[in-house]
Amino acid sequence: MGEVRKLQKKLRQIENLEIKISLTPEEKVKVSKKAELRSTLAELLLQHSGPQQTQGIVGKEEDKMKRQVEEVKEQLVVACRPALKIAREERRENERSDGSQTDGRGETHLPVSPSAEEQEDAEFKSRRQTWEKAKFRLRTLEGHSDIITCAVAVDNLVISGSRDTTVKVWHVPTATEQRNLGGHSGGVTCLSAPPPEYCRRLAHVFDLADKERFVLSGSTDCCVRIWALSSGQCIKSIYTFNAVSSLCFIPEGEGFIVTGSDAGKLQVWSWSSLENWQSENAHLDAVTTLQSQGPLLFSGSAEGCVCVWEVSDKWTEPLRRLHIWGPEVTGCGGVDGVNGRLILSPRGDRVFLSCGKASIRILNWRTGVMTRLTNHSSTAGVTDCVNQIPGLLIGSCFDITNGESTINLFSLPQCKYLVSLTSSDLPRILCFAAWLTASGDHRWVTGGRNLIVWEQLPGSFKKRGDVIVRRDSRLVDCLLESDRDSEDEQSEVDDDEESIPQDASETEEPASSSWLRCVLQ
C-alpha cells in the first residue's frame, strides 16, 4: 500500500499549494497533475478493494479501525453494562399482552413509563429522521478575490474576512454585498461580533445610535479594527505590534477584547477604554483559536496546545491560567516539525478540537482525559473546523483522495452521528457560521474558496434541494480513545514517510503543512 500513501501525500501537498496567494512555475506543474493523480489513486483503490475491505478504507487502515472498534466495544460491554439495562430486559420478558407486568413471583404491576435512556433514544431517532429529510438551498456570495478565512453572523447580515485584506458585509435574504470594509493592509485572519448590550455601551462613547452593531477584525498587519456596521466606518484601530492570528470578545464585566498573535502572545484590551490591560506569552507558536465560555477563555495554538483561562475585571491582570494541556495530551501536534491549525469549540467541561486530522478530538479540560469522534473513515480525511449550534455538533470534512467536502452533524450532548451533508463541487470548508431564522430554520455560511449561504427550506417545499443528505454507516458509534488514535495515526505517517522517496520534489511541501501559514503567505 506504499503507492497509495505516496499518492495521498502528494494530493495533500497539492491541496495546500492551491490555497497560496501565488505559485512558482514548479508548483503550478504539481497542481496541474491533481486530476491525473486522483485518477491513478482511484484505480489503485479499486485494485485493492475486496470482500474484506469497506468503501473508503484501504488494507491496514480497515484492519486497525476494526480492531479499535472491537476492543472498545469489548471494554464497554465488560465495564459498563448498566444495571438499568438488565432490569429493563427482565421487565420486558415479564410484560403481558394487556400492557401490565409481572415480577418473578407472578405479582401484577401497572405499566412502567419509559426510562430516561429510552426517551433519549426516541428523541435521537426523531431528530435523525428530521435531518434525513432536511433540504437546503445553496447560494454563493461573490465578491472576494482570495480565500475566505473567517465569517460571523449578525442578525440578517454575514460579515466575512479574506486574505484579500477586505471585510465584506452581506445581506443574506437578498444574497447581496452591502458594504466593503477596506482598511487593512494585510490578510484578514479573524472576526468577532460583540453582543448588543456591549455594542450599546461603545455606541454611547462614540455618540452613535443605541442600535448600532459593531464587528472586530484582526489582520496580519498587526491591527484590530472596530467597524460600525450601519455606516461601514472604522471607529477605532488598535495596533498590537504582532500579526493578529485570532480574536475573541469576552462579555464579562465591562467586556474585553483578547487577541492572539502569530508568535503565541495573548493581549487583553479593555472594551470601554480600548487600553491594553495584559500581555501574556501563552504559547510557543501561533494562537490559531480563541473562544469564550462564560468567565472562561480557551486558547489553542499551532503546536497543538490548549490553555484554559479564568477572566475577571476585578484583577489587575484579567487573565489567570487554570490549565494547560500540551500536544502529547491533545493529540493535535504537528508532523515532521510542521505545526497545524487548531480550532476549538467549548461546551461545559468538554472542548471539541479540530486539527486537520480525520477525527474530532474531545478534551475534558478539567481532567485532561481525551476521546475522539470519528469524522472520516480513513486518514485521507481532513477536519478543518468544528462548531456548535443548539443541539448540534458540526464538523467539516475534506477527502484529499477525491476532493469531496462534507459537513457531518452529531447530536449533542451524546455526540451521536446524525447525517452528512454535501453538494456537487462543494469546496473545502475552512470557516463556518450559523444561526436560526425567526421560523426556527437553519441558516449557515461556509467559507474557503467560496463564501456559500446554506438556507434550510421548509418541510412543505416541493422541489429538491441543492444538498445531498446521507447516512455514513462507518461513522455510527465511533467514539474511540484518543491515545490509541494518536498512535495509529502516527504509525500511518511513519509508514507513509518510509514509502516516499526523499528527494527535493517530494519533500518541499510537507504533508501536514499549516493552513494558517498558507493563509499568511
Judge contact between 479 and 371, C-beta under 8 A: yes
**pLDDT exceeds cutoff 50 at 491:** no
Calculate the average pLDDT of the chain: 80
For range 95-108, the mean pLDDT: 48
Max CA-CA distance within the chain?
A: 85
Bridge partners of residue 270, in order along the sequence? 256
Alpha-carbon distance 316 to 312, whole Å? 9
Q: Is the per-residue pLDDT at 135 higher than 80?
A: yes
Q: Which of 126-130, 255-259, 476-480 has the lowest mean pLDDT?
A: 476-480
Average pLDDT, integer, range 229-246: 95
**Confidence bin at 115 (pLDDT 50/70/90):** confident
Rounded to an integer, the average pLDDT of 120-143 is 93
12 versus 498: the higher-pLDDT residue is 12
Cβ(232)–Cβ(217) below 8 Å: no
Write out pLDDT tens, residues 19-36. 554 567 887 788 788 788
Digit-coded pLDDT (tens) for 299-356: 999 999 999 999 998 899 999 999 999 999 999 976 544 457 899 999 999 999 999 8
Lowest-pLDDT choice from 127-141, 148-162, 259-273, 498-512: 498-512
Spell 225-248 as b/e; 16+ CB within 10 A means b.
bbbbbeeeebbeebebebbbbbbb
The full set of domain ranges for the chain reads 2-69+482-515
- The larger pLDDT score, comparing residue 445 to residue 96, is at 445
Tell me what pLDDT residue 57 has.
39
User: Minimal CA–CA distance to 421: which of 475, 460, 462, 379?
Assistant: 475
18 or 106: which leads in pLDDT: 18
Residue 375: what pLDDT?
93
Q: Quote the pLDDT of residue 20.
A: 57
The predicted model gives 253-279 an average pLDDT of 95
Is 80 exceeded by the pLDDT of residue 14?
Answer: no
- Position 506 confidence tier, pLDDT thresholds 50, 70, 90: very low
Least confident of 88-92, 255-259, 267-271, 282-286: 88-92
CA angle 261, 267, 272 (to 5 degrees): 130
pLDDT of residue 110: 52
Number of Cβ atoms within 10 Å of the Cβ of 350:
19
The answer to whether residue 50 scores a pLDDT higher than 70 is: no
Task: Give the pLDDT band (50/70/90) at residue 10.
Answer: confident
Q: Is 353 helix (H, G, I), strand (E, B) or coil?
A: strand
Instruction: Tell me how far apart the alpha carbons of residues 329 and 324 are, in angstroms, rounded to a whole number.
Output: 10
Percent pLDDT > 90 in the chain is 56
Cell 511513519, located at residue: 494
User: Buried (b) or exposed (e) across 146-178, using 16+ Cβ within 10 A?
Assistant: bbbbbbbbbeebbbbbbbbbbbbbbebeeeeeb
Which helix (H) or strand (E) covers residue 78, if one does?
A: helix 60-79
**CA–CA separation, 155 vs 496, rounded Å?**
47
Enter the C-alpha cell of residue 519.
Answer: 493563509
> How distant, in Å, are the alpha carbons of 161, 280, 414 from that of 237?
16, 21, 43
Alpha carbon distances (Å) from 184 to 173, 221, 290, 351: 28, 7, 21, 32
Q: What is the mean pLDDT of residues 77-93?
A: 42
Residues of the chain above pLDDT 70, percent: 76
Distance CA 233, CA 492 (A): 51
Mean pLDDT of 131-148: 94
What secondary structure does DSSP assign to 169-232, as a single string? EEETTTTEEEEEEE--SS-EEEEE---HHHHHHHHHHTT--TT--EEEEEETTSEEEEEETTTT
Beta bridge partners of 416: 411
- pLDDT value at position 485? 44
Phi, psi of 422, deg, nearest 5:
-150, 170
Gap between the terminal Cα atoms of the chain: 34
CA triple 319-320-325, angle to 5 deg:
115
Stronger pLDDT, 383 or 91, i.e. the higher one: 383
pLDDT of residue 62: 46
- How much is the pTM? 0.78
Distance CA 223, CA 183 (A): 10
